Structure 1
Amino acid sequence: MKLKSLILGSVAAAGLSTAGFAADLGVLTSLDVCDELGLSGLTISSDTNCLQISGGVSYEFNWGDFRTEATVARTHDSNRAVSIGNAPTDWNSKVEAWLKFVGTASSDFGPAKAVIKLKSIEFTRVNRGELDAVAGVDTVVDNDGERDGVYIDEAYVSIGDSTVIMAGKKGSIANLGDDEPFNYLGLFGSDGIDGKGVGIDGDTTYLGGHVIQVVSDLGNGVSVGVGLENLNGSSDPLPLSAANAPFTHGTLVGVVSYAGENLTAHLTGAAFGILDGTVESWAVHAGATGTFDAFKVRGAIAYWDNVKFNGQTALGRKGIAAGVFGEQDLLNALVSVEGTFDLFKIALSGEVASVSGAVSYTDFGVGGSIGVTVTEGVSINLGARYFQDGLAVDASDDTFQVSAQLVAAVTETLKVTGEIGGYFGDAVTTATAGDNIYYGNVGLDWAPGGGFTSSVKGEVNSESAYKVTFKAAKSFE
C-alpha cells in the first residue's frame, strides 16, 4: 500500500471517530508527490512526478523620432550613442512570451528533473529615417535578428541535490556577477557589457547552449562547478572568428563561488574552441562584494586572451581597416564603493580597460552619485561620470555626463521618476560636431500587484529627438 493511501485512510478513519477530533485534521486532507518533494506554485502531479508550470508575457511599444543616433563616448568595444532627430517618426512593437515546464521525481541521487522552456518573440521596427535602397520606402524590420515564432529556449535534464548533473540546452554555469558599479549612472565602459560590469561586449556568446555540467554545494557558502558548453557551436561568429568555423565550438567552464553573510565572491575560467583539441582563446572573470556596516565595497576583473576581432564591426572605430583581423588581449577592471547613511547615500566607481596586440591602448572612466531622501517616498539622485578614450589617434576624445533625478512614490503602487542631464566633451558628435547634448525624461511606473507591472516614459533631447515608451508585463508561477 502506498504511503499516501495509508495516511489518507488513517485520516478518514480518525475523522469518523469523533466530530471534534475530525475538525482538527483539515491540514492533512491532501498529500501528493509535489508536497513530498517540497514543490509549490502552479503544479500538476501524478503518482511519481510533479509538474511545475510558470510563464510570462511582456509588451513594449516605442514611438517618436529616435532611430538615428550620435556618438557620445568611444569605449574599447563599441560606441555609446544617443538619439538625434531627423524629422520622420519611427516606431517599434515587441511581444515576448515564455512558458516553462519542470517535471520532477525523486531518485536515489536526489531530485530528477526534465526542463522545457518555450519562448516566442514578435518584433516589428519601422525606421522612417532610413529608406530601402531598392524599394525606395521606409525600412521595416521584422524581429530584428530575434528568433521568429515559438521555439525551444531551454531543454535539459538534471539529477542531484547538493551535487547536480545537467545535460541539454540551457544557460551557462559561469558566474559573471559582483561587477556592477553602485553609482546610479553607472560607467560608460561597464554599460557595454552584458548586464553591465567587466569583460567585453558579447562575453556570453560562447557560453551556454548545448551543455554537460556538474555543480556541487560544498557547504559553508562554497560551491564549485565544471561544464562543457557551446557544444553545438555559437550562432554568432564574433568575436572569435569571422565565420562559425569548427574551431569556435566547445567551451570548458570552471567556477568557484562563495556566498557568506557579509561577502560574496567568485572566480570563473573559460577555454574556448576546445573540441578540435586546441584552446583557441581563454578568459577569466573574478569579482567580490563586501558589506561592512554602512559601507559596501566591490571589485572585479576580467581578462580575455587572444580575442580575434573583425575590424569592420568591433574595432573599426579604433583605426583597424575594415575586414582586417586584430588579435587582442583584453584586461578590464572595476572598483566601486557605496556608503549608506540616515538620509543620504554616496557611491564612487572607477574602471579601466586595457587592450594590447595589433592595436594597443587604455581607456578609463570614473563616476559618482549622491542620493538624498527628502521625505518618505521622495528622493533625489545627483550623478556624474567621465570617460577617456585612450587610443592615440583619439586621445582628445573624452565624455562627461551629469544628471539629476527625482523619484517620488505617489501611492504604494504608483511611482513617478523625472531626470534632466547632459553630455559634454570632445567625443560628442552630433549634427553639429562638438555640440553638447541636453536631455530630459519623465516616467510613471505602476505595480498594482498580482505580478503585473506597467510603465510609460517620455524622453526629449536638444538634438530634436523624442521618444514615448509603453511597457506592460505579467508573470506567473
Structure 2
Amino acid sequence: MKLKSLILGSVAAAGLSTAGFAADLGVLTSLDVCDALGLSGLTISSDTNCLQISGEVKYEFIWGDYAGTFPGMGILAQAGSRNVDDNNAVVVGGSTFDNDWRTKVETWLKFVGTADSDFGPAKATIKLKSWFDQVVTNEGYDAAGVYVGPTVGGDATVNGVGSNGAWIIDEAFVSVGDTTIISAGRKGSIANLGDDEPFNFLGLFNSDAVDKGVRYAGQHPRTGNYAIQVVSDLGNGVNVGVGLENLGNEGTGAFGTNPAGFYNATTGAQAAGTLVGVVNYAGEGITAHITGVAGGVLDGIVEDWGVHAGVTGTFDAFKVRVAGAYGANNASDTYWNVLGSAQATFDMFTIALSGEATGGQNAGVAIPNQAGLGGSIGAAITEGVSVNLGGRWFDENTGLANDEGYQVALQLVAAVTETVKLTGEVGVYGTNKPVAQQSDFYGSAELAWAPGGGFTSSLKGEAHQNGAYKVTFKAAKSFQ
C-alpha cells in the first residue's frame, strides 16, 4: 500500500513539474474551441468553430365551452379587444353544438456557429420553427349553423409567415463583433419595447390588449424580418443600435386589424423598409430605453412612424415605472398610449398601483380618450404561500357615461412541494353598460409541475357564472 502511494505521488509530482516547466517555456496546452470562446451548453466543436444547439417544444390543449365574448368588455383602443369566456351555442336541426377545443404545438431548433475573428466572435445563426394550431368553435359550426370545420394554421407571429405544422426558417443571419456587433439576414428587431408592464398582479386592460405594456399603434411599422443592424456597447450601461429592417416586407394587402382603420392605408411595397434606432441604459437601479421606428423608407417616403420609451427605477423597497408610445402615419392618423406603475414592499406586504390612458385621431378626427386603473395588495402568509387581492377598471370612452368595465379577483398561490405549485383564483368581470349580462363571476384552479431538466407542465380548470368552462393542459421542454 505504501509502495502504491509512493508511485502515485511521484507521478503527480512529475506532472506538476512538467506543467511548471511548460509554463516557463511559454508552452500553452490546447483548449476545446468552445471553451476558448467562452461558450457552453450543448455544443459540437471543430478545430475552428463551435456549434451551439438549443431548442424547445411547447404543447397546449384547451377544451370546454368558452369561445364567446363577454358583452361590454371590448376595448376601442387600436390594439385589440378584451375577450372573456362566454357560453355561445349553435343549434342545428334541434341539436345544440357548443363545445370548443384547441390543439397547439410550437417547436423551434436553433444552431449558432461561432469562430474567432480579428473583429470579435463571428457567428452564423439558423433557427427553424414550426407550429400547428387547430381551433374548433361550437364543434365546427358557424353562427349561421353551417359546418365549416376546424380552423387550422399558425399564429402568423413569425415575421408574418404561417407554419401550419411545416418547418420554416425563423432566423438566418450572420454577425460579427464584440462591443460593436454587425448583423445581417433574417432576424428579430433591435427595437426595445420593454420597461412597460404594470406591476399589479391583474395588470391593465389595454396593456393586455397590446401584449402587456404600451404600443404606438396596432402592428405598425413592421420591424424585424430581413434586416441589417449595428449595435454598440458604449460603456457605463449605455447601449445604442441602428437597423434597416422589414426589407423582405412579407405579407400582402392592408396592414393591421384596427377597428377604426388606423394604419390600414399602407399596402404592398410602400411599407417595405423600416428604419429603427434605439438607445438603452442599465445601471444604478435604473433601466431605460427609447426606440424610434420609421416605416416604408425604401421608396423615399416615410409612410408611418412610432416612438416607444420606458424607464424603471428600483430603490430599496420601491419600484417605479413610466412608459409611453406615440405613432402617426401620412393619412392623418395618430395614436398615443401611456402607462405608469409603482410598487412598494413592506415586510410581508406588497402594494402596487397602475394607470393607463390612450387616445389619438383617425383621419384627423379625434377618437375617444380612454383611461384605466389597477391596483393590488399581496401578502406572503408563510414560506411558499402568498395571497393577492386586486382590481382593475377601464373606461372605453371618457366622454360617455356608463361605458366602463372592471375585474376584481382574489388569488392564492401555494408551493405544495419544491416542484409543485397550486394557484387558485376567484373573481368577477363586470360592466355598467346597459347590456343583458353586466357581471360574470368565475373561479379557477391551476396545478403546475416543474420537476427540473427544463420540463414544465400545468393543468388549469376555469368555470364562469354564464355557463362557460375551460380546461387547459400545457407541457414544455427546452434544452441548450
How far 1:124 moved relative to its partner?
1.5
Matched, 1:370 2:377: yes
Note the 1:216-365 alignment, pairs <5 A.
216-235=232-251, 237-239=254-256, 240-241=263-264, 244-306=267-329, 327-356=332-361, 357-365=364-372
Kept after mapping to 1: 8 A contact 2:275/2:297: yes
Residue aligning to 2:3: none
SS in 2 for 1:21: helix
Counterpart AA for 2:67: R
Residue aligning to 1:313: none
Kept after mapping to 1: 8 A contact 2:274/2:297: yes
Q: 1:134 to 1:22 in 2, by over 3 A?
A: farther
Kept after mapping to 2: 8 A contact 1:427/1:434: no
Aligned pair partner of 1:106 in 86, 104, 116: 116
Provide the rounded CA distance (Å) in 2 between the counterparts of 1:418 and 1:254: 43
SS in 1 for 2:36: helix
Deviations 1:230-266 (A, max 9, x none): 0111426423335742111110000001000310001
Residue aligning to 1:425: 431
Counterpart AA for 2:136: V
SS in 2 for 1:176: coil
Kept after mapping to 2: 8 A contact 1:57/1:95: yes
Deviations 1:180-232 (A, max 9, x none): 000000011111113x1011564466010000000000001000000000011
Residue aligning to 1:74: 75
Aligned pair partner of 1:211 in 210, 227, 237: 227
Provide the rounded CA distance (Å) in 2 between the counterparts of 1:391 and 1:292: 34
Provide the rounded CA distance (Å) in 1 between the counterparts of 2:43 and 2:63: 40
Residue aligning to 1:398: 404
Structure 1: gaps of 5 or more residues? 1-14, 309-326
Matched, 1:140 2:150: yes
Aligned pair partner of 2:439 in 433, 436, 459: 436
Kept after mapping to 2: 8 A contact 1:402/1:421: yes
Deviations 1:400-453 (A, max 9, x none): 211000000100100000001111223485xxx242111110000000111100
SS in 2 for 1:190: helix
Aligned pair partner of 2:413 in 407, 410, 424: 407
Residue aligning to 1:86: 88
Provide the rounded CA distance (Å) in 1 between the counterparts of 2:330 and 2:417: 50
Residue aligning to 2:158: none
Deviations 1:73-99 (A, max 9, x none): 424123211111135211111111110
Number of residues of Structure 1 aligned to a counterpart in Structure 2? 439
SS in 1 for 2:447: strand
Q: 1:181 to 1:369 in 2, by over 3 A?
A: same
Kept after mapping to 1: 8 A contact 2:132/2:154: no
Residue aligning to 1:191: 208
Kept after mapping to 1: 8 A contact 2:343/2:353: yes
Deviations 1:56-85 (A, max 9, x none): 111100011112222424241232111111
Kept after mapping to 2: 8 A contact 1:67/1:129: no
Residue aligning to 1:155: 172
SS in 2 for 1:360: strand
Counterpart AA for 1:164: I
Q: 1:428 to 1:183 in 2, by over 3 A?
A: farther
Matched, 1:465 2:468: yes
Provide the rounded CA distance (Å) in 1 between the counterparts of 2:464 and 2:296: 45
Kept after mapping to 1: 8 A contact 2:50/2:115: yes
Matched, 1:21 2:13: yes
Q: What TM-score comes out, normalization by structure 2 length?
A: 0.86
Kept after mapping to 2: 8 A contact 1:302/1:331: yes
Matched, 1:128 2:138: yes
Provide the rounded CA distance (Å) in 1 between the counterparts of 2:462 and 2:434: 19
Structure 2: gaps of 5 or more residues? 1-6, 20-27, 90-97, 156-161, 257-262
Let me know the Cα RMSD of the aligned residues. Answer: 2.5
Residue aligning to 2:39: 39
Matched, 1:61 2:53: no
Counterpart AA for 1:295: F
Provide the rounded CA distance (Å) in 2 between the counterparts of 1:172 and 1:367: 31
Counterpart AA for 2:225: G
Provide the rounded CA distance (Å) in 2 between the counterparts of 1:29 and 1:169: 39
Kept after mapping to 2: 8 A contact 1:389/1:396: no
Provide the rounded CA distance (Å) in 1 between the counterparts of 2:30 and 2:444: 53
How far 1:384 moved relative to its partner?
0.6
Q: What TM-score comes out, normalization by structure 1 length?
A: 0.87
